[in-house]
Amino acid sequence: QVQLVESGGGLVQAGGSLRLSCAASGLTFSNYVMGWFRQAPGKEREFVAASRSGGSTYSTDSVKGRFTISRDNAKNTVYLQMNSLKPEDAAVYYCAARLGVVVTTKSRDYNYWGQGTQVTVSS
């Protein structure tokens, strides 16, 4: 049974930092693209960043220069370091896994999802 478990969310002031973690089990981690998505109230789930097993990364324009995705294949864990947080970054952040090496920004292309972790940014 595949499980993705996120942690690290919380309340932070604007300009602050948080580090999200997602621990995966029940899958061969290195065979998956790992992604982060977020969903704010009343909005669609949107792509944030993704990482191939080999280390190449992708992120949406709104977080470039502020968020960094990384992964530790030995620990089956993917991270999202979020710096210079803005109120508009507030959302539930979801970890997702997609079998293969193709990175996509569409949530429907991902096979497995975590339960989400709340990020709140106060202004």
| pLDDT score of 55 | 83
| pLDDT score of 111 | 98
Per-residue burial over 50-65, b = 16 or more CB atoms within 10 Å of its CB, e = otherwise: bbbbeeeebbbeebee
Q: 3-class DSSP state for residue 84?
A: coil
Q: Residue 4 — pLDDT band, cuts 50, 70, 90?
A: very high
Residue 54 has pLDDT above 90, yes or no: no
What is the percent of the chain with per-residue pLDDT over 90, rounded to a whole number? 98
pLDDT tens string 8-40: 999 999 999 999 999 999 999 999 999 999 999
Q: Are 117 and 21 in contact (CB under 8 A)?
A: no
For residue 99, the surrounding DSSP H or E stretch is strand 91-99
Helix/strand/coil percent split, the chain, to 5: 10, 50, 40
pLDDT tens string 68-78: 999 999 999 99
Sign of the Cα torsion 100, 105, 106, 110 reads positive
